[in-house]
């Protein structure tokens, strides 16, 4: 038979009082306040248990210390025959139901279980059903009987409490005298060690309980030690909580820290923000814009930026040149001096650890897109030792947390992982692994996590090593999905061969690409609004942002090989231009696939709306950027386009960058002489819309042209 660490119940005859709360006292030993202890306290408060904590502030010496403290505490209750006392561990235990249910089951209890030394196993009484062995995690009984149980204790603080209780139980005379029985069927006590597969969550009537499937019981107290601590943390996400599918999980008492009453910026907590760049990452300029726009006083933020990627040196320096003076302090470690990834993260965390005024350390990797500007305040107000805002890849289950671990310490999918990522279950979740973005209390860094090197553990990667060290220290990691915070970029296939590499991210990170490059009013055009018709069957609508226009022009000028249309460049596309222009084709900069997706996603829906009954896959033979200069090629003679329809996007501003220019449709004697930067002209390409490019008289004009469905 496998030995199982289960729970002892001391049962004595007596009469329960009329008011359960008045007749019950919970005693526990906690020399320090850990996350596990605070979880136990919240569960006790949730059900209105009276709890007395023994040994608070004492130095810990061993399990025998618990017996000594309990024996002393019982002296004052030795003659109170009506008082029921529950003694329990608190670091890895939660109460799952009310004192009334506990006392009712206590009065009815006849069986339980425990874990002895193996040599004592044959001495245990046999049972017909249920757990056979005793454990010292928790027990309950009338005060006089518990006093008798501990009367003979004279052991040292470092000896085994469990062996002491086991020997008493195995002595037939003492067992009979004290009237000890065991909770064999886990009606009151459930220990998870060795029984992880026995317990499931039961959702019913707005409450969550742990259910023992083997005995069909609902334990009142659940304990998870050793390897079962991870399961205990998982169950603790739900027990005790109020649950509805409309509002998600809400813990009874979060112990929130409000920042609303702070009247001046100087009264806000000081935060060290660690920013980590470990590989080429798209949209880095946008990351720094979001960092600068956090809704938190900059004079209460100290920045630490560790950049391992030379390609991003210019992005960091541009940000610091403009904004570094706004922060209380800035430390930048560039690629030439940056230590390895683990050391860089250790150093950032230590900046907060060494500063007594630092109340929080906020770590963020640049691939995290935090759209919620109040994220820092929100995390601080949750008042957790370590908490991460839940972010995931768009339309993917890849996130910054794990719901469970495999036996070898790597990823395992928890039963609720998908629901949490998709926000079908909403709350704050105790998880075994977080990464990419999280907030740590400075007080925790200076106490429980005072060890400098938190990002090494065997051969584990730095993020896994960090979480492994936290679990070993008993520091809980939380993730919250109560709000939408943002997402994680996909970094695969990000190349740095171009001037503006973000332009190529339309496949990997289309949402971020869209926000950077597509005009904010384009969504109105998709609904048929903001579409103008300056000439018959010519439609004018917002398409590109100014950034898109500027970067596309700069990309072409950086490539630099401008040429006419009836040459090798055009034939590479399989087509030709009726009238040659000074241009660079999209295929020359390896942008034809990206350009087609852009046309398909952002132009085709408008085409189909404005030309009912026509559907397009946005195929093209020719797509290029044209440059007009007075001394190079100022205009274009009348011509038809080799297309079903043409898209012509103005890439710079008339009056500011150039003078003259525009387009005239000869059949209708209709001209557009003031094209708007980022707006697209869409018109039929053949038969009706014979047109010419009007002369550019000053400066340089750029347009992006696509002959679609040739």
The whole-angstrom separation of Cα 89 and Cα 139 is: 10
Q: How many CB atoms lie within 10 A of CB 111?
A: 20
Cα torsion angle, 573, 577, 582, 586, sign: negative
**Closest by Cα among 232, 207, 688 to 476:** 232
Q: Which residue bears the tokens 């009338």? A: 142
Query: CB–CB of 282/505 below 8 Å?
Result: yes
Is residue 240 reached through a cis peptide bond, with omega within 30 degrees of 0 on the bond before it? yes
**Closest by Cα among 510, 550, 478, 548 to 470:** 478
Query: CB–CB of 628/693 below 8 Å?
Result: yes
Q: Which of 38, 300, 345, 701 is the catalytic position?
A: 701
Residue 4 bears catalytic tag: no
Both tokens assigned to 685: 């390409």
- Report residue 341: phi and psi, to 5°: -55, -45
**Closest by Cα among 322, 344, 343, 324 to 333:** 344
DSSP state of 103: H
**Orientation angle between helical segments 341-353 and 462-473, nearest 10 degrees:** 40
C-alpha pair distances (Å), 419 with each of 90, 100, 424, 427, 484: 29, 33, 5, 11, 14
C-alpha pair distances (Å), 475 with each of 460, 467, 663: 19, 9, 67
The 3 state secondary structure assigned to 290-339 is HHHCCCCCHHHEEEEEEECCHHHHHHHHHHHHHHHHHCCEEEEECCCCCC
The whole-angstrom separation of Cα 504 and Cα 498 is: 9
Chain centre distance of CA 581: 50
Both tokens assigned to 150: 């501990």
**Closest by Cα among 161, 215, 150 to 188:** 215
Both tokens assigned to 189: 């006590």
The whole-angstrom separation of Cα 422 and Cα 298 is: 33
Q: How many CB atoms lie within 10 A of CB 443?
A: 14
- Report residue 176: phi and psi, to 5°: -70, -40
The whole-angstrom separation of Cα 75 and Cα 105 is: 26
Query: CB–CB of 54/69 below 8 Å?
Result: yes
Query: CB–CB of 394/514 below 8 Å?
Result: no
Side-chain-side CA neighbours of 513 within 13 Å: the count stands at 20
The whole-angstrom separation of Cα 264 and Cα 299 is: 11
Both tokens assigned to 125: 């009484």
Query: Which residues, 6+ apart, have CB-to-CB distance to 26 below 8 Å?
Result: 44, 49, 50, 51, 52, 85, 86, 87, 88
Q: Which residues are marked as active site?
A: 701
């Amino acid at each position: 038979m496998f030995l199982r660490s289960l729970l002892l119940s001391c049962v004595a005859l007596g009469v329960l009082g009329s008011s359960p709360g008045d007749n019950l006292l919970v005693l526990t030993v906690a020399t320090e306040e850990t996350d596990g202890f605070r979880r136990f306290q919240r569960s006790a408060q949730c059900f209105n248990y009276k709890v007395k904590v023994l040994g608070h502030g004492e130095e810990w010496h061993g399990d025998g210390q618990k017996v000594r403290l309990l024996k002393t505490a019982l002296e004052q209750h030795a003659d109170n025959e009506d008082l029921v006392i529950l003694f329990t561990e608190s670091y890895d235990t939660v109460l799952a139901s009310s004192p009334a249910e506990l006392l009712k089951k206590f009065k009815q209890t006849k069986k339980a279980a425990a874990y002895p030394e193996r040599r004592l196993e044959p001495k245990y009484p046999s049972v017909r059903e249920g757990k056979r062995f005793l454990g010292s995690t928790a027990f309950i009984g009338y005060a006089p009987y518990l006093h008798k149980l501990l009367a003979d204790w004279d052991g040292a603080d470092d000896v085994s409490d469990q062996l002491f209780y086991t020997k008493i139980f195995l002595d037939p005379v003492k067992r009979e005298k004290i009237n000890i029985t065991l909770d064999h069927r886990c009606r009151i006590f459930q220990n998870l060690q060795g029984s992880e597969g026995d317990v499931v969550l039961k959702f019913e009537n707005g409450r969550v309980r742990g259910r023992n499937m083997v005995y069909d019981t609902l334990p009142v107290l659940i304990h998870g030690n050793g390897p079962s601590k991870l399961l205990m943390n998982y169950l603790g996400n739900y027990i005790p909580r109020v649950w509805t599918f409309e509002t998600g999980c809400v813990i009874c008492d979060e112990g929130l820290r409000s920042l609303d009453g702070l009247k001046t910026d100087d009264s806000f907590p000081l935060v060290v923000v660690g920013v980590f760049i470990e590989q080429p990452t798209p949209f880095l300029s946008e990351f720094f814009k979001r960092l600068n726009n956090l809704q938190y006083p900059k004079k209460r933020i100290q920045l630490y930026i560790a950049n391992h990627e030379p390609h991003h040196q210019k992005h960091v320096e541009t940000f610091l040149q403009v904004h570094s003076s706004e922060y209380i302090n800035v430390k930048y470690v560039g690629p030439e001096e940056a230590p390895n990834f683990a050391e860089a993260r250790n150093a950032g965390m230590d900046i907060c650890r060494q500063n007594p005024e630092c109340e929080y350390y906020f770590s963020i990797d640049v691939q995290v897109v935090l759209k919620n500007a109040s994220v820092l305040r929100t995390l601080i107000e949750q008042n957790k030792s370590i908490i991460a805002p839940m972010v995931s890849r768009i339309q993917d289950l890849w996130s910054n947390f794990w719901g469970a671990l495999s036996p070898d310490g790597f990823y395992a999918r928890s039963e609720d992982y998908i629901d949490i990522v998709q926000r079908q279950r909403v709350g704050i979740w105790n998880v075994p692994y977080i990464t990419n973005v999280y907030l740590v209390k400075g007080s925790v860094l200076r106490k429980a996590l005072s060890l400098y090197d938190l990002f090494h553990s065997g051969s584990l990667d730095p993020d896994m090593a960090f979480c492994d060290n936290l679990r070993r220290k008993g520091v809980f990691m939380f993730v919250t999905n109560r709000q939408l915070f943002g997402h994680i970029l996909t970094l695969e296939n990000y190349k740095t061969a171009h001037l503006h590499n973000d332009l190529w991210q339309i496949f990997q990170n289309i949402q971020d690409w869209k926000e950077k490059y597509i005009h904010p009013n384009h969504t109105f055009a998709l609904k048929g609004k903001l579409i103008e018709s300056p000439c018959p069957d010519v439609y004018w609508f917002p398409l590109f942002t100014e950034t898109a226009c500027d970067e596309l022009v700069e990309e072409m000028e950086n490539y630099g090989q401008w040429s006419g249309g009836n040459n090798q460049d055009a034939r590479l596309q399989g087509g030709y231009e009726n009238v040659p222009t000074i241009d660079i084709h999209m295929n020359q900069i390896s942008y034809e696939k990206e350009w087609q997706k852009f046309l398909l996603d952002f132009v085709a829906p408008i085409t189909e709306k404005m030309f009912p009954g026509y559907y397009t896959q946005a195929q093209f033979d020719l797509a290029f950027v044209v440059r007009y200069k007075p001394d190079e090629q100022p205009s274009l003679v009348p011509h038809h386009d080799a297309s079903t329809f043409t898209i012509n996007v103005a890439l710079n501003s008339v009056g500011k960058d150039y003078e003259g220019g525009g387009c005239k449709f000869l059949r209708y004697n209709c001209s557009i002489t003031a094209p708007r930067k980022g707006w697209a002209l869409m018109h039929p390409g053949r038969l009706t819309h014979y047109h010419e490019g009007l002369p550019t008289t000053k400066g340089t004009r750029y347009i992006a042209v696509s002959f679609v469905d040739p």
